[in-house]
Structure formats: structure tokens, C-alpha cells
Amino acid sequence: MKILLTLSRLIDALNEVVGRLTYWLVLVAVLVSAGNATIRYTFNMSSNAWLEIQWYLFSAVFLFCAGYTLLHNQHIRIDVVTGRLSRRAQAWIDILGTLLFLMPMALTILWLSWPVFVDAYQRHEVSTNAGGLIIWPARLMVPIGFLLLVLQGISELIKRIAFLRGMIPDPTEKHEEPSAEELLAAEIRRQRGESA
């Protein structure tokens, strides 16, 4: 179990690094897209490659951050029914969910998307738009994203089992950075000089 917990920590660290690097692409995508509109209007020219880069960046953000989002427990749940159950019961739900829901779907897509990438790579597939980008890097993003998700699933599984065995504190209660809403409230309060 000790080895598994080390593995879990390694996976967490990996997805943390990937997530923190990938979120910069949000800013890049904003600037590219705003630039595209401005240049098209002012110089009356546009480039398919630059238009396609927008959604390459978008795809990278949601695919590479899927594991990172799972690590931070931010994938939406409907917890009106099970939200009141004990921590242990919720850990059991997460274990079963990971094994029965997350793993089968992520492995299926990982399995199916790899040959699509290999095919695109071997045929040097290029976008059908004039001046478009080569396709394989985008095709490669899918298996990478789902691999990161599978890895994070393994890590979450290890952490839940360790929690049920009393080896680690509740992993869902780990220290999270304050949310955007909490930061906003804190800032307004500071400026108003009120503690209410």
C-alpha cells in the first residue's frame, strides 16, 4: 500500500504540473482569437491556420486539464441525494464510480482514439481548410488527455482505499486554494474595511 500511495502522489504531482502549464493556454487562446478578429477587420485578411489554432488551444485546455480537474474534485456531481451520506459511504461511491464508470469510459476512448492518431500521423493528414494545420497533434491530444484522466482515476482510487483503511485523512478535504468567489468576497471586504 505504501508503494501505491507513492504512485498516487506521483500521479497527483504530474497532473498538477500539467494543469498549471496548460491553463496558460487560456490566455493564449484569448489573445489569438481577439487578434484574429482585429486583424480581419483592420487589414481585411484572415488565416485558416490562426483560426484553427484557436480550437487546438481550446482542445488542449479541456483534454489536458481533465485529470487536473478530477484531482481538484471539480467535475460536477449531483449530490442532492448522496451529499448527506457519511464520508466513508462517499468514498465507497467514488471507488465504485471510478471502477465502473470512469475507467471503462476513459479506457474505451483511449483505446479507440490511439489508432486514429496513428493513422493521421502516418498519412500526414492535413486540415481540409486552405492553409490549415497538420492534424495529428490535435489527434494526439485525445489519447494523452484520457491517459491523464485514467492515471488520475488510479490515484483517486488509491487515495479512497487508503482513507477507508485509515491510512490517510479524507482526501476530499485536502487544502484547496480559495475559490474565485471567496477571493472576490475577501477583496471587497478588505476594501470596505468591514469584517461583517
Partner 1 sequence: MIAFVTSNMAPLMFTALIVVLLLGYPVAFSLAAVGIAFGLLGIQLGLLQQSLFQALPERIWGVMSNDTLLAVPFFTFMGLILERSGMAEDLLDTIGQLFGPMRGGLAFAVIFVGALLAATTGVVAASVISMGLISLPIMLRYGYDRRFATGVIAASGTLAQIIPPSLVLIIMADQLGRSVGDMYAGAFIPGLALAGLYAVYAVGVTMLRPQWAPALPLEARTFREPNGGSGTPSLIVLFVIAVAAAVGFAKYRYPPDAPIDEVLVVATSVGVAVAFSAAVLNHLLKLGMLSRIAERVTFVLIPPLALIFLVLGTIFLGVATPTEGGAMGATGALAMAIGRRRLSFGLLRQAMDATAKLTAFVVFILVGARVFSLTFYGVDGHLWVEHLLTNLPGGQLGFLIAVNLLIFFLAFFLDFFELAFIVVPLIGPVADKLGIDLIWFGVLLGVNMQTSFMHPPFGFALFYLRSVAPTKDYTDKATGRPIAKVTTGQIYWGAVPFVLIQVLMVALIIAFPGIVTGGLAKKATIDTNKIQIEVPAEESTTTPGTGEKTDSEQEDAQKAFDRASGKPEPGK
Q: How far is the CB of 5 from partner 1 (least distance, A)?
A: 23
Is residue 17 near partner 1 by the rule CB under 8 A? no
Q: Judged by CB under 8 A, which stretch of 7-15, 157-165, 167-175, 178-186 contacts partner 1?
A: 178-186
Nearest CA to 72 out of 187, 184, 161, 155 is that of: 155
Of residues 48 through 107, those in contact with partner 1 by CB under 8 A are 48, 51, 54-55, 58-59, 61-63, 65-66, 68-70, 72, 74-83, 90, 93-94, 96-97, 100-102, 104-106
- C-alpha grid cell, residue 47: 488565416
List all residues 6 or more positions away from 21 whose beta carbon is below 8 Å from its beta carbon.
none
* Near partner 1 by CB under 8 A: residue from 24, 167, 173, 174: 24
CA-closest candidate to residue 45, choices 36, 53, 57, 54? 36
Within 82-135, residue ranges assigned H as helices are: 87-97, 103-122
The verdict on 126 binding partner 1 (CB under 8 A) reads: no
Which span sits near partner 1 by CB under 8 A: 6-14, 124-132, 157-165, 166-174?
124-132
173 binds partner 1 (CB under 8 A): no
Contact status: 190 vs partner 1 (CB under 8 A): no
53 burial via Cβ count (<10 Å: 0-12, 13-18, 19+)? middle
